[in-house]
Amino acid sequence: MLRSQQQFYYMKQSDKENLVDILYEDNHILVLIKDSNISTQPTEITPYSLQNLAKDFIKEKYNKKGDVFLHPIHRLDKKVCGIVLFAKTSKALKRLNEQMREKKIIRKYIAEVEGKFLKKQAELKDYIAHLSHRAKIVKKDQKGSKLAHLAYKVIKERKDSSILQIELFTGRYHQIRAQFSNISHPILGDTKYGSKKKIDKIHLCSYFLDFLHPVTKKRMKFEIKPFFLKKSQISIY
């Protein structure tokens, strides 16, 4: 189930610098806030990405020549906003990737989904297949299927929707979107996965990140407030 939380180390969003919203930066890591509708990494179809924006920012800020070393430790779907961790050195990249493999990096999300739940707190375990630009819940024995595991807790109910806190235990393509669509609770605004409501941004945010600094070994905790929650409206905890 959802792991208990401790006091946060970093809690405020910074001002935007050159379209890059920075939570934290040092010589080894960069922690950014990704807006909706921008890719984490460039593709042949969409070269505009958070990674490229961040590289341009670093190049300009430090007057660097040539290519900038900067790699995301995890990615968010293009339509999902929230915290993204980047490594600025090969040493940091190797050590943070090890933490990811060992499931030592904690990522939590806030989502608004359609409908209300009988079970206010539970885990979802499914098998998921990555199709063309889409994820699908499939049987365990289907070729290419992978386990998708998360936990959720209902933290508020609205008239026709529920606000959830979600913790990922696996990081599959479109995992949260596909799993909640599969139980008839699509993310609000996510028409690709069955939402009936058409809005500019889907209501899914990676709001919490917890990991060990790859060099100092200090525990780093970051939290942001999802755009679809008013400041005085709800306590996430």
Domain boundaries of the chain, sorted by first residue: 16-223
C-alpha 83 chain-centroid distance: 6
Amino acid at 81: C
Asked if 72 and 86 touch (Cβ cutoff 8 Å), the reply is: yes
Tens of pLDDT, residues 86-133: 999 999 999 999 999 999 999 999 999 999 999 999 999 999 999 988
Question: How far apart, in whole angstroms, are the C-alpha atoms of residue 88 and residue 70?
Answer: 5
Residue 44: partners with Cβ closer than 8 Å, 6 or more residues away: none
Q: Which CATH number is 16-223 given? A: 3.30.2350.10
Task: Kindly tell me the sign of the dihedral angle through the C-alpha atoms of 236, 120, 83, 195.
Answer: negative
Average pLDDT for 130-140: 93
**How sure is the predictor about 20, in pLDDT bands with cuts at 50, 70 and 90?**
confident
Tokens at 50, concatenated: 């958070």
> In terms of Cα–Cα distance, which of 156, 164, 158, 170 is closest to 187?
164
Question: How far apart, in whole angstroms, are the C-alpha atoms of residue 64 and residue 55?
Answer: 10
Question: How far apart, in whole angstroms, are the C-alpha atoms of residue 115 and residue 135?
Answer: 21
Question: How far apart, in whole angstroms, are the C-alpha atoms of residue 214 and residue 20?
Answer: 22
Tens of pLDDT, residues 162-190: 999 999 999 899 999 999 999 999 999 99
Asked if 150 and 167 touch (Cβ cutoff 8 Å), the reply is: yes
Count the Cβ atoms, other than its own, within 10 Å of residue 50: 25
> In terms of Cα–Cα distance, which of 231, 151, 158, 154 is closest to 197?
158
Cα distance from N-terminal residue to C-terminal residue, the chain: 15
Tens of pLDDT, residues 53-70: 999 999 999 999 889 999
Tens of pLDDT, residues 193-215: 999 999 999 999 999 999 999 99
Structure pTM?
A: 0.88
Q: pLDDT at position 13, please?
A: 40
Q: pLDDT at position 231, please?
A: 57
> Could you give the angle at the alpha carbon of 195 between the alpha carbons of 193 and 197, nearest 5°?
145
Q: pLDDT at position 222, please?
A: 96
Question: How far apart, in whole angstroms, are the C-alpha atoms of residue 183 and residue 123?
Answer: 12
Tokens at 160, concatenated: 């026709």
Task: Assess whether pLDDT exceeds 70 at residue 18.
Answer: no
Q: pLDDT at position 10, please?
A: 39
Mean of all residue pLDDT scores within the chain: 89
